[in-house]
A = this chain, B = another copy of it.
Amino acid sequence: MRLKALAIDIDGTITDMDRRLCLEAAAKLRSLKIPVVIATGNTLCYSKAAARLVGVCCNIIAENGGVLVNGFDKKPFVSDVMYECEEAYTFLSSRFEIEKLDPFHRITEIVLRNNFDIEKARELLSVHYPGVEIIDTHFAIHIKSKKINKGTGLTKMAEMMGLEPSDFVAIGDSVNDLEMLQEAGFAVAVGNADAYLKDIADYVSTSKYGDGTVEAIDFLLSGGLIKVPFDKDEQ
Q: How far does the alpha carbon of A20 sit from the alpha carbon of B50 in the complex, in Å?
A: 9
Q: Which residues of B contact A33 (CB under 8 A)?
A: none
Interface size class of A (residues with CB under 8 A): 20 to 34
For A105, give the chain B residue with the smallest CB separation. B45
Stretch at the interface among A52-60, A142-150, A177-185: A52-60
Number of copies of this chain that the complex holds: 2
A27 within 8 A of B: yes
Q: How far does the alpha carbon of A50 sit from the alpha carbon of B18 in the complex, in Å?
A: 13
Question: Assuming the A-B contacts A45-B43, A45-B46, A46-B45, are A20 and B52 also in contact, with contact meaning beta carbons closer than 8 angstroms in the complex?
Answer: yes
Given contacts A23-B23, A23-B27, 15 further A-B contacts (CB under 8 A): A15-B53, A19-B52, A20-B53, A21-B21, A21-B26, A21-B53, A21-B55, A42-B49, A43-B45, A45-B45, A45-B49, A46-B49, A49-B49, A49-B53, A50-B53
Residues of A participating in the B interface, judged by any CB pair closer than 8 Å? 15, 18-21, 23, 26-27, 30, 42-43, 45-46, 48-50, 52-55, 73, 101, 105
